[in-house]
Amino acid sequence: MGRFDRQWQPEGAVCLMKGRFVGWRTGGAWLLVCMGLLGCDMQPNPELIKSESPGEPTLTGAGTDILARVDGVPITRATFQAMLMQTAEFYKSRGLPMTQSPAEVGTMILDQLIARELVYQEARKRGMEADAQIEQALNEAREKAGGEEPFKAILAQRGVTEEMIWEVTRRQILTEQIIDQELASKVEITPEAVEAFYAENAEMFLMPERVHARHILIAIPEGSPETVRVEARQKIEELAARLTEGADFATLASQESEDQASSGNGGDLGFFTRAQMPPAFADAAFDTEPGQVSGVVQTSFGFHLIRVEEHLPEQQVELNEELRVAIRRQMTQERVKDLLRDWARELEGSHEVERYVAPEDLIPIPDGGVAETGVSEKGAAEPPFDF
């Protein structure tokens, strides 16, 4: 305890836009981060390493271990389940309804996995290479890990080999390269289209109401006895009295605040929205006039005094160059995803694709009608088609 962590610190207007700005592009260095090398939990799938010489599928209906093959490369039930969970979490986190049947959802997810493999196999068929980019990504990961030995230690801790990283990163980079070459390079987004998107989706580009404030924290460590709370309350009230007598808030925060993250900067928290702070803290900050200090506020962190510097109402984000670039990127990605569906169907004609499981067997529904995945018998909204 002793550090007051906000949920998120905005880094500019685009970060605060409402909406989902995502797409197929990730980049090798990002992929290495998300493999768990630098703090995330995702690890490369060992099946990718074995895919050059796959074993025979087990054809037993809903219990099938291999659901499909693309040019002999297996798509496993484990991979399918991972994407199914990811899709269910996507909708759950956004509060979106699920409106399609389990069979329809399962079919779409399997089709997407097949499409991914088709695109990668097409890149290999064309002789595309990514060794230089992979080596650069690995070097970046080594540097961020602190050198070769720390890098190897992280790999060992995660149960990951450099061969696994190489294969996963190669897949990602080659997929990006061929999509850029075949699809993205052919998509043109005009300035007029960007302006139309901005005008038609004004609600996506609202900057929420924000406050710029400083605070002083007297921490109450979790599990502390009542005597600690009483002492903390007494101390924060003494500090409030000193402020009433004319003490400078920033100076007092630097000297007395137990929030290590902000005390060195006079307690400055920068701008934040209501959603970024604990409710009691947010209520006090947004109800206090600029230039004034709140009364004592209690949160799970301890006791606070808050000085409000500025209070900005909700406002429309200006269509500046940064936002134009973000909108153009998003529109390109959305169009590419639409083109990918059609292109993947075309690729099936020049690649060998085998499906082993009927749609109704992809997502078994237990008694009671609701699968453990969160997909109900009454259905699910269309999952995102993403690479």
Name the helix (H) or strand (E) containing 269.
strand 268-272
Picking from 313, 338, 372, the residue at the C-terminal end of a domain is: 313
* Residue 55 pLDDT exceeds 90: no
155 lies in a domain? yes
The Cβ of residue 305 has, within 10 Å, a number of other Cβ atoms equal to 26
**Structural domain boundaries, residue 270:** 209-313
Residues 296 and 340 in one domain: no
Residues 137 and 180 in one domain: yes
pLDDT at 387: 54
pLDDT at 165: 87
266 lies in a domain? yes
5 lies in a domain? no
Which residues, at least 6 apart from 201, have a Cβ–Cβ distance to it below 8 Å?
19
Three-class SS of residue 23?
coil
199 lies in a domain? no
- Higher per-residue confidence, 340 vs 101: 340
Tens of pLDDT, residues 185-231:
889 999 999 999 999 998 889 999 999 999 999 999 999 999 999 99
* Residue 43 pLDDT exceeds 70: no
Residues 65 and 132 in one domain: yes
Residues 39 and 134 in one domain: yes
Tens of pLDDT, residues 273-309:
999 999 999 999 999 999 999 999 999 999 999 999 9
Nearest Cα neighbor of 201 from 339, 327, 322, 93 is 327
* pLDDT mean over 52-60: 38
CA–CA distance, 60 with 67 (Å, rounded to integer)? 10
Q: Cβ(145)–Cβ(29) under 8 Å?
A: no
Q: Identify the band that residue 64 occupies on the pLDDT scale cut at 50, 70 and 90.
A: low
pLDDT at 364: 57
Residues 84 and 142 in one domain: yes
Q: Cβ(323)–Cβ(372) under 8 Å?
A: no
372 lies in a domain? no
Tens of pLDDT, residues 334-380:
899 889 888 999 999 999 999 998 877 887 544 333 344 444 433 44
- Higher per-residue confidence, 302 vs 106: 302
* Residue 1 pLDDT exceeds 80: no
pLDDT at 328: 93
6 lies in a domain? no
* Residue 70 pLDDT exceeds 80: yes
- Higher per-residue confidence, 323 vs 11: 323
φ/ψ bin of 184: left (φ > 0), alpha (ψ from -120 to 50), beta (otherwise): alpha
Q: Give the count of domains, the chain.
A: 2
pLDDT at 73: 93
Residues 352 and 225 in one domain: no
pLDDT at 338: 86
User: 133 is written with which tokens?
Assistant: 């980019």
pLDDT at 360: 74
Average pLDDT, the chain: 80
pLDDT at 300: 94
Q: Which of 67-71, 244-248, 267-271, 333-337 has the lowest mean pLDDT?
A: 333-337
Residues 171 and 83 in one domain: yes
Q: Identify the band that residue 386 occupies on the pLDDT scale cut at 50, 70 and 90.
A: low
Tens of pLDDT, residues 109-139:
999 899 999 999 999 999 999 899 989 988 9
Side by side, which strands form the sheet with 66-70? 73-76, 66-70, 353-355
**DSSP letter for each residue of 112-132:** HHHHHHHHHHHHHHTT---HH
* Residue 10 pLDDT exceeds 80: no
Residues 51 and 178 in one domain: yes
Residues 82 and 226 in one domain: no
Q: Tell me, what CATH number does 104's domain have?
A: 1.10.4030.10
* Residue 7 pLDDT exceeds 60: no
The proportion of the chain whose per-residue pLDDT surpasses 90, expressed as a percent, equals 49
Highest mean pLDDT among 50-59, 61-70, 332-341, 357-366: 332-341
pLDDT at 94: 74
Q: Tell me, what CATH number does 219's domain have?
A: 3.10.50.40
pLDDT at 92: 81
302 lies in a domain? yes
* Residue 41 pLDDT exceeds 70: no
* pLDDT mean over 263-281: 96
Predicted TM-score (pTM) of the model is 0.58
Name the helix (H) or strand (E) containing 355.
strand 353-355
Residues 232 and 305 in one domain: yes
383 lies in a domain? no
Residues 260 and 330 in one domain: no
Residues 239 and 277 in one domain: yes
